[in-house]
Structures are given as C-alpha cells and as structure tokens.
Amino acid sequence: MKQQISQQSRISLELSGQRLDQVAVQLFPQFSRARLQEWIKSGQITLAGKAVKPNTKVTGGEVVQLEVELRDEGDWEAEDLGLNIVYEDEDLLVIDKPADLVVHPAAGNEDGTLLNGLLHHLPQLQQIPRAGIVHRLDKDTTGLMVVAKNLEAQNQLVQQLQARTVSRQYVAVVVGAIPPHGHVDAPLGRDPFNRIKMAVVKSGGKEAITHFHRLARLGPMSLVRLKLETGRTHQIRVHMAHLGFSLLGDPLYGRQLPRLVDLDDEAMELIVNFPRQALHAEQLSLQHPRSGETCTWQSPWPDDFAELVRALGGRVHDPS
C-alpha cells in the first residue's frame, strides 16, 4: 500500500526573494532538504500550482503544495525473524537486537537481516530509506536500536544523532586492567593495510569520542561502561584496542589473551571460547520526534554476557 503525503502552506512576505528549496525547508521542517529538493524536481512540490525548479525565487504570498506518493526504496524481501520489540508507537520502534544478526543487507548478507525482519513487521517501511534504520550495531553486538516508522521521525532522529543529543550507553568486557575512567578522542578511518578494518588515523579520519568508566575488575579482565559522543563504524572496538584493552572475543581487533591464572575451569572455558565481541548496547535515550519528551530504554544483559561476568566474579546488571 502506497503512502500519501498531502500538505500545503502559504509563503510569508518576509521570505520574498529566497529560493523555493530554502523556503520549503522552513515550511516543511519535518523533511530533509535533500528530499524536498528531490520532490521539487519531480513536480511533487509545486509553487502557485506550477512545477518549478528548486532555485526558483519566491515573491511571497504563493501557496506551496506538497503532494507525494512514496515509492519503494528497495526490493528487499520481508522475512519473519521474530524481532524483540521493546517499544512501539506511531513514530518509533525500539529493537533489542540479538547477536549474529546483520542490520542491513550487503554483499554476502542479502537476506536474514534486521531490515528484512522490519519489513515483515511493517511492510510500509519499504517506502522509508533503509527501512527507517538510522544507526547500526555490528553483527555480533547486542542491544538497543531505534527505527523510524515515517520520514518525519527519521529526519528528526538523524538531526538528533548529528547534534549528539542521542545518548547511547554500552557495557563491555575488555582484556586487561583498564584505568578507572577516561575518554578516547581519536579520529577513525579505513585501515590502510586492511580494508575490512577501521583504525585510528593521523589524517583524513572522522572525529570519534568515546567515554569509559570501569565498573569492576574481573581477574584478568575489566567490566566497562562506555558512552558514545559520536557513532563511527566499530568505534568502541577500535578505541578500546587503541588503548590496549581490546574487547574480549573481538575477531577483528582482539589481542592475545594473557595467562589465565587463578580462574576456575568454567571461567577459563568461557573466556577462551566466547564467540563474539563482549559488547552490549544497554541503554538508549533520545527526544521523541513528535512530543519532544525524553525517552529512555534499557536492555538486560544477554545470557552469554551475563554468564561471562558471573563466572568472572562480577555482579550481573539488573535494569529494573
């Protein structure tokens, strides 16, 4: 079923002389400028009943009409993946993602992704870019993700991410005795020696800032809480490895385990065989795109992570 958007607004005289695409951003701020420009070019936004170019100057007093029929953004297949939905309303979905789930289809992962599962739950997401996905978690990172159910919510959430007002809190087990607290401010870019990896780079990288606080020493490991200011690919994994405290089980950025002494057989087996990076997105906080209310969601630790912490003598987090 195609989604229809129909809105109109009259241009005030104070906006006289401005370009239509600039005015459209002020009249319809719930949509991105790039999308509004696209709709002007396709004639789905008209000025005084006429299709015009985005750079057309307005005089003031004209009616701008927006009549859009959303098209499918891709030909992805819907799949019933039994998603764990922790919150849903007319604008948002909050998903608690399990391990071993890729977020978006790509080469080698054309199906079985979170996006395919979202389309089964809500077929209309086919008409939203990336099915409403505004941020990602790595395949084997567990925890909370927010998904927009309409263009207005998606644009608002992207703006919040860019403004760094979305709070994302993680918990991890890292190898070694990390300092009690600190932060990493080190730009990230593609590793010049291995294109599947990211790395701290001296030039050309994107700003990346991670804050950390040690919750407990776990023998040869540390339990750490992390907060992101930025959300770069593999950011936590690269920053922790850069400090010398890589995530336990990280197949890309991990380092050789230290000698495991004074641990019982259960703990040693869990450490040696932990099948993924020990990283969980445990808390997500943002402003609701419609009400402006601050919303916060928490996710209990997944069983494998909790079992690991418990075996190492740590206390298991209770979000309640």
Task: Give the residue numbers marked as catalytic.
Answer: 138
Burial 245-265 (b: 16+ CB within 10 A, else e): bbbbbbebbbeeeeeeeebee
Q: Tell me the HSE value of 308 on the side-chain side, using a 13 A CA sphere.
A: 28
**Paired tokens of 28:** 């319809």
Q: Are 30 and 11 in contact (CB under 8 A)?
A: no
Q: What is the dihedral angle through the alpha carbons of 128, 99, 145, 32, rounded to the nearest 10 degrees? A: -40
**Paired tokens of 308:** 């690991």
Please choose, from the candidates 145, 152, 160, 170, the residue with its C-alpha nearest in 3D space to the C-alpha of residue 93. 145
* 3-class SS string, 257-316: CCCCCCCCHHHHHHHHHCCCCCEEEEEEEEECCCCCCEEEEECCCCHHHHHHHHHCCCCC
Q: Are 300 and 317 in contact (CB under 8 A)?
A: yes
DSSP code at position 129? G
Report the C-alpha gap between 127 and 146 in whole angstroms: 17
